[in-house]
Amino acid sequence: MKNTHHISVRALVFRKDSVLLVRHAHQDRPPFWCFPGGLVEEREDLITALKRELVEETGIMVEPLSVVAVQEFKREKLLEVIFLCKHTGGETILGSDPDNPGPPVLTDVKWIPCKETSLLDIRPTGLIKPDRKTSGVFFGQFYSKVSVPQDDRPQVSL
């Protein structure tokens, strides 16, 4: 049977009251921010792909905790699996995105305070919104609440 979709993985990583985002710039659209990640390579499992992509794009190491969202992009025939992850090591650096060749695709990587996420163009639109009442964010199109505890161990309530 022929595959109908590509699979991509992304990481939702918190540190204190901030979330890790990468900024993309493409020739055919305005720059935007998103969670780091990328395509799963042939013969690669999702966890291995996620860990590899995070090191390639941001220089950090993560431990995946749980899947928090799955999105389908019909036009691109892409399924994207988003994992809540714990930051386990490494220094944040601007890496590269070998999945998207061309002039600079990744232009920045930052720990953005959750309360400032509403000021950014984060893709997909509506994926993350600040929750000022709990110092956390609402994540996903169904707005599952992800709290950002002070001890950096994300807790998810769906």
Distance CA 4, CA 1 (A): 9
DSSP one-letter code for 100: S
Nearest CA to 146 among 69, 34, 57?
Answer: 69
Domains in the chain: ranges and CATH:
6-113 (3.90.79.10)
- Indicate if the alpha-carbon torsion angle 79, 26, 63, 86 is positive or negative: negative
pLDDT band at residue 89 using 50, 70 and 90 as cut-offs: very high
- List the structure tokens of 78: 């892409």
pLDDT band at residue 106 using 50, 70 and 90 as cut-offs: confident
Are β-strands 6-15 and 37-39 bridged in parallel, bridged antiparallel, or unpaired? antiparallel
Residue 76's pLDDT is: 85
- Which DSSP helix (H) or strand (E) runs through 46? helix 46-58
Q: Select the more confidently predicted residue: 144 or 130.
A: 130
pLDDT band at residue 131 using 50, 70 and 90 as cut-offs: low
Using only C-alpha atoms, the chain has a radius of gyration, in whole angstroms, of 15
Q: What pLDDT, in 10s, does the model give residues 137-149? A: 555 443 344 444 4
pTM of the model: 0.78
Q: Which of 40-49, 63-72, 75-84, 99-108 has the lowest mean pLDDT?
A: 99-108
